[in-house]
Structure 1
Amino acid sequence: MPPAPRAALALGTLFPSVCGAVVIGVMASLGLPTGSALADPSVLRTNVCAAVVYMVVSIPSACVLGLWWTTVPVGSDQLTRHAVLMRIPARLTSISATVWTVAAAVLVTVNGHRLWLATTLGVSTLLGATVTATLTYWWCTRILRPHVAPVLTRNPPLRRQRPSLRTRAVAAWVVGTGVPLLMLMFVAVSSLVVEYPGDRLAVVVLGLGGGAALSGLFVTIFTATTTADPIEEVRRGMSRIADGHYDVTVPVFDASELGLLQAGFNAMAEGLRERERLRDLFGRHVGRDVARLAEENQSPQLVGVNREVAVLFVDLVGSTRMALHMAPEELVAVLNSFFAVVVDVVERHSGWVNKFEGDAALAVFGAPQSIPDHAGSALAAARELSATMASADPRMAAGIGVSAGIAVAGNIGDPRRYEYTVVGDPVNEAARLSEYAKSHGGIAASGSTLQRAGSEEAARWRVVSSCILRGRDTTTDIAMPSA
């Protein structure tokens, strides 16, 4: 552990004890119900000497023990270092409580033949032990928070560890209210047993009452801050997630209920990040619209519906030859560049790339989401795609075919493995038009597509021929972009 937090721990352990000892000493000599015992110089001298000797012996011993308990042995593994770090507050608290408890025993022993003095000093010292031990624990947990948080964030607690929030609330009441009230009650009882002037009783009541008010305020503020900090961290994390930023992790401060809350939030955020990663991956595989449709339909059915769609089929020219003469890495690079252009252009025109088939791609306009002018969008995408590939890379020459009509769209396959796709005559016709286009200018559309397209886009095309395409029985009017 660096010197700075170690020094802060030492200060936080010694300062409450020193302050408590001074307060008890002043109160015992000026206000506590000790009767006339301390008025005897020999009694006062005996108690002062006993207190000084005890402090000279106990404080160095406590410091040595605390240093030993907070030091990680050289060569220890990470698990051991983490275990020592997590035990520091409890260890230092136990040292403080032990020192004060033994001090109470020493004072009671020294004043054994003066019963009321022994009782007064013993009770006040034990109550001081309760306060100083609690303050020591709180101080240690606060100082160690920056060092504990990375450990617990990487290795979050799996179950609640003590002290729980309920225990901390009780401890806060004890320190801020319980101990001062017990002292007041003790003073009240003492006034009935020993000689206790009224003015001295008033001073004690005012002093303890004022101390109770101040300690209650400070303890309440500290407890509220300690509880609110982790909740505020979680609230800020939730706000970032609500804004769509899933790469958020909140620090885990301790292993109480608050630590479990923070760890639970981190687990939730990790799950959301994984869900978004899978959603993104799913969308890349099947298309954003299909992915969104699958999310909305919690019980997908293997059924299809008739949809009015336009289909664009693009097939790379000479891919077989390229596969024979290119290195695998170079061929994959060319294909990736080719498909990147296809995806960019198709999506810009509200289309959806249904599938990649080796060196070809099938794009659909009008399914799964309807668009106002599906045929016109497909024709515009074909023109832009042809122009883009011609200027991008000579090796990306392709045949582009466009068709439109009624097709069956839906989930096709088996309940164990299916995909959303379109089947029908427009798909077959677009593939045959793509073959035709490879040797007739690179782009071809069916006359039926022009008939379904908006007038503005249709005006950019003209029918140039009519023929029976391979594998078909009827004549197809073939259109190409106007020069």
Structure 2
Amino acid sequence: MSANRTLAQRLGRVLETVTRQSGRLQETPAYGSLLLGRVSESQARRRVRIQLILTVFILATNLIGIGVAVLLLAVALPSPSIFSDAPAWITFAVAPGYVAVALALGAYGITRRTMTALRWAIEERKPTLEDERHTFLAPFWLALGVLVLWGVGAALLTTLYGLTNKLFIPIVGFSVSFCGILVATASYLFAEFALRPVAAQALEAGQAPRRLAPGIMGRTLTVWLLGSGVPVLGIIVTALLGGVLLDNLSKTQLAVAVLVISTAALIFGFVLMWILSWLTATPVRVVRAALRRVEKGDLRGDLVVFDGTELGELQRGFNAMVDGLRERERVRDLFGRHVGREVALAAERERPKLGGEERHVAVVFIDIIGSTQLVTSQRPVDVVGVLNRFFAIVVEEVDRHHGLVNKFEGDASLAIFGAPNRLDCPEDEALAAARAICHRMADEMPELTAGIGVSAGQVVAGNVGAKERFEYTVIGEPVNEAARLCELAKSHPGRMLATEDVVRGASENERARWSLGDTVTLRGHDHPTRLASLA
């Protein structure tokens, strides 16, 4: 996993600089916020959740906007006054009445229309291209609906107040329009947030259609224009109005007007940019949390792609990377099961080539006694089951003692200790593994017996075969010697034999478990070999 972790760590360090201001998160919700629920949530519940979030956010944003508009008219531009210089039926009847109707339409009508456009998600059907287009344009249409209601209100109130005094026309028109633009911008950002779960479903089904302001840059510039550019323009308009209405607006009142509008612009601009920054940071935080999991070797699960900008491409790219890592792990695991994990890791570290090198290794050869009777007395499927249980014991113990099961030959297996991984004392590990296999066979498979031979010495370890097809193996006298010892062990009471050289090469603690016995000449060997068996 070292290569995978290095890649993940590099990506993580880049993303960490982006997310440092937003804090460090060990885990983040799938959509970047707990308010949006889980991916497994039912569509009916998700519909209620989204509509509730939209309704609350739109109501709250509009109420704040109305409060700022009243503040502008009452404090920033107090002359003429909408309370004392205008008919009371406009200020205390028409204006509140329209606000109530607009809030009702905005909270219910606009959100209901938005949810209707997203009916494909509620009905859990695959979206068409038109459905996808409606999904990504939904925040724009919602914001446009809010802006239209504010625009109608501005036109209505400006007309009514203007009929009583022409000086109300620029004051009311500017104050209401100024707040309407900011409220519509905030509504757009909140709608993008609330509709993330549906946007994720649309992105999963296909490519995101073009937005009104595509990409992070387009979204940022749009918010700056509406959240900062318009307020600055408002300050300029206020200064101009002060010059035109100099007889009705003193220098102190003009200063107060500029101060109030500047404060409102500062607060609104900060809030809008904070929302924008949060919307931009949360996808990165989700990716960063997922990268931490990858660094720890956890490749389970994909990120939910819920952003249609470059951040969504980042999420999709992360999923592609993790998918590639999972495929690599699957191939590595499959390769390791066939040739041994150590051989697989060695092949990954360096380009495998034909040839080998001399190594001092220990060799364990294991063969079932009476395999012919086993095959003829049981069904083939049962024989395979017995062999799998037998080989499971062998593999587990060889792995536990840092060895490599190099071959399965029918009902026999060859294990190597000291190649391809180097061991300080391969004799210790081989003898300990042989003892463990023998004991487990007696406890777990008493119906089956096997001969075990252990040898050690110099071998050539490497890749043997042709360029198109080769395998890792060891060649040398210890391999043949272990096989001959295994044959001899089948008729030995302990069913396990080792050579004197293996025992003498082991540690004192391991030597104490073995005792030296007779000297024999193994089949195919010219020199005598002294045997060792368990004490």
Range with bigger deviation, 266-275 or 285-294: 266-275
Asked if residue 243 in structure 1 is aligned to residue 296 in structure 2, the reply is yes
Letter in 2 for 1:232: R
Question: Of 60, 79, 91, which residue of structure 1 is paired with 2:126?
Answer: 79
Q: SS of the residue aligned with 1:80?
A: coil
Where does residue 133 of structure 1 map in the other structure? 184
Aligned partner (choices 347, 351, 357) of residue 399 of structure 2: 347
Match of 2:487 in 1: 435
Which deviates more from structure 2 when the two are superposed, residues 401-410 or residues 278-287?
Answer: 278-287
Structure 1 length-normalised TM: 0.84
304, 307, 310: which one pairs with 1:254?
307
**How far did 1:70 drift?**
1.2
The whole-number CA distance in structure 2 between the counterparts of 1:324 and 1:125 is 95
Answer yes or no: is the 8 Å Cα contact 1:444–1:478 preserved in 2. Answer: no
Q: Per-residue CA shift, 1:212-242, capped at 9, x if unaligned? A: 3332343343333333333333333222332
Q: Residue 422 of structure 1: CA displacement? A: 0.9
Matches for 1:116-127 after TM superposition, within 5 Å: 117-127=168-178
Letter in 1 for 2:342: D
1: CA distance, partners of 2:64 / 2:419: 78
Q: Check 1:159–1:326 CA distance in 2 against 1; reply closer, same or farther (3 A cut).
A: farther
CA gap of 1:475–1:9, structure 2 versus 1, over 3 A, is: same
Amino acid in structure 1 at the alignment position of 2:112: L
| Counterpart among 402, 408, 421 of residue 460 in structure 2 | 408
Offset at residue 273 of structure 1 (A): 3.3
Q: Which has the larger radius of gyration?
A: 1
- Indicate yes or no: 2:24 matched with 1:24: no
Aligned AA (2:334):
L
Q: Give unmatched runs, 5+ long, in structure 2.
A: 1-45
Residue 313 (structure 1) aligned with residue 365 (structure 2): yes
- 1:6 is matched with 51
* Structure-1 residue corresponding to 2:217: 166
Partner in structure 1 of residue 518 of structure 2: 464
Query: CA offset at residue 427 of structure 1?
Result: 1.8
Deviation at 1:338? 0.9
Work out whether residues 351 and 366 of structure 1, in 8 Å CA contact, stay in contact via their aligned partners in 2.
yes
Q: Residue 390 and residue 15 in structure 1: after superposition, are their counterparts in 2 closer, same or farther (change >3 A)?
A: closer
The 3-state SS of whatever aligns with 1:270 is: helix
Relative contact order (alpha carbons < 8 A, sep ≥ 6): 1 or 2 greater? Answer: 2
Find the partner of 1:397 among 449, 453, 470. Answer: 449
Asked whether the 8 Å contact 1:240–1:248 carries over to 2, the reply is no
> Offset of 1:153 from its aligned partner?
8.4
The total of aligned residue pairs comes to 478
Contact 1:314 1:361 in 2 (8 A): yes
How far apart are 1:361 and its partner, in Å? 0.7
RMSD: 3.7
Is contact 1:33-1:196 (8 Å) kept?
Answer: no
State whether residues 241 and 248 of structure 1, in contact with CA within 8 Å, keep that contact through their aligned partners in structure 2.
no
CA 1:473 to 1:18, structure 2 compared with 1: closer, same or farther past 3 Å?
A: closer
Q: Aligned with 1:17: secondary structure? A: helix
Q: CA deviation at 1:148?
A: 4.1
Q: Return the offset for 1:415.
A: 3.0
Name 1:356's counterpart in structure 2. 408
Question: Cα distance 1:140–1:451, how it changes in 2: closer, same or farther (>3 A)?
Answer: same
In structure 1, stretches of 5+ residues that fail to align are: none
| 1:191 counterpart residue number | 242
Cα offsets for 1:276-299 (capped at 9, x unmatched): 3333333333223222211211x2
- Whole-Å Cα distance in 2 between the matches of residues 426 and 463 of structure 1? 19
Per-residue displacement from partner, 1:79-138 (whole Å, max 9, x unpaired)?
239846555423311211232334445566665998764444444444333211111112
Question: Is contact 1:234–1:250 with CA below 8 Å preserved after alignment?
Answer: yes
Task: Compare 425-434 and 64-73 and name the one that shifted more.
Answer: 64-73
SS at structure 1 position matched to 2:77: coil
Q: Does 1:151 align with 2:201?
A: yes
CA displacement at 1:41 relative to structure 2: 4.3
With normalisation by structure 2, the TM-score equals 0.77
Q: Name 1:180's counterpart in structure 2.
A: 231
Letter in 1 for 2:467: P
SS of residue in 1 equivalent to 2:357? strand
> CA deviation digits over 1:199-224, x for unaligned, max 9?
33233122212223332343343333
